Structure 1
Amino acid sequence: MGFPKPTILDLGDVNIAVYQKGEATAPPVVLIHGWPEMAYSWKSQLPALARAGYRAIAMDLRGFGHSDAPTGKEHYHITKMVGDIEHLLDKLAIREAVLVGHDWGGIIVWHAARMISERVRGVISICTPHTKYPPVDPLAIFEKRHGKDHYFVAYQQQGVAETLFDQDPLAVFKMLFRTVPKGTKSSHEMYHLLKNFKTYLAAGAPDLPGAVMSREDMQVFAGAYTHSGFHGGINLYRNTTENWQYGASL
């Protein structure tokens, strides 16, 4: 059984692609992906959850995959991202669901647990733990610890990151979706992502050892990002300050 075809739902200001497995009357689990991903990231979890007796629902977040990708960063504020989950539940006539998030998806589902708590039965977050509210803007923390080349900081420059990644979407996944040699500090390579990706492109984007994804799956991701562009996901990062300010009220 292949990955399910999407249903396109009109959530008001955006159309969102939704993928489902399992019985409509089964307990719902909504899967929220991170960056640089899309609903296809959950291709193994959708059927597994359905076999376990759940209604598994994955969505391409706004800006990703087959969902609409508005250009302005204001379209990717945390209120918009959580609002899409709430509107999705409304459209599917679901009162409450367990939310599962990976990476940025984890950030989103933690916020959903506070913002729309009556719709959230439980939260599972992968790689993004719940942390205390930071006393200062997270961008200032990242820059102080890791410099201006830290990707959260570097992504704030309008048009820079997305233009670079749009040059060769396949290269993005070849570089990122892999293990690193034993003893290597992978965090450093990730923190200075833009600088390292420029070097990687200049070297001809060679195949690297330790791929954790098949070339076929990489092509699926690359094709989707060729369609949507990278600006949507990058705009999530551009709302870091605004989301931090908003978080003070939660």
Structure 2
Amino acid sequence: MTRRLALVGLGPGDPELVTAQAVRVLNEVAYFLVADKTEQHPGTADLLAMREEICARYVTGKPRIVPVPDPERDRDDPADYGAAVQDWHEARAVAFERALLDNEGDAAILVWGDPALYDSAIRLAHRIVERGAVDLTVEVIPGLSSIQLLAARHRLVLNTVGGPVTVTTGRRLLDDAASHDNLVVVLDGALTCRRLPDPDAWHLWWGANLGSADEKLVAGRLSEVADVAWRARSQARQARGWVMDTYLLRRC
């Protein structure tokens, strides 16, 4: 029997930013699969609690949440980064497949932000389907991304007039900044913009834990606010045990 697996974008964390479509789908499935990182990173229990809060607010009846232990990924800058990510994706597919086999009915995977933007949920679902142990129909429900909320909080337009915006990662920033003037940066735990050789040439708009009660915002010329953003990032991580941040860099 074919079962439904919905990948539901919940937005950046604020329950008020969950879409009406997401609410409808949350009420149509039998249970929710949530990646659980608390064994390796106890501070992330807050992330699980935030998902539970969203479900409690919008789901009729008592929502059934199934935590799935999330395999640890090699983050020590492996020589073959692509292979390390592939291995992690395969380990996650095995874990989520096990959860689907152990629980009957349609399910949803709860995803921060949007499932189609720097998230592994869609690749995860494809891998589960390819493995063939569970007969699934996969559905993707978009959500508001932290990038969109960053722009709203700073009251700015991500692109320049008639110009492009490049979305990149901290790992690629130094190379991409050499040939692009307008960059959104994600997945940058080191705040790599602090290493740009010409900080006077850039303007920074940064935000952490967007959509939460203790979100932090910093904006200004990079040479003047890079250290301010780094301190704010450290404070946000210390307060919650985790931090999710993104920023826009634009050449002045």
| Structure with more strand by fraction | 2
TM-score, length-normalised on structure 2?
0.38
Structure exhibiting the larger radius of gyration computed from Cα positions: 2
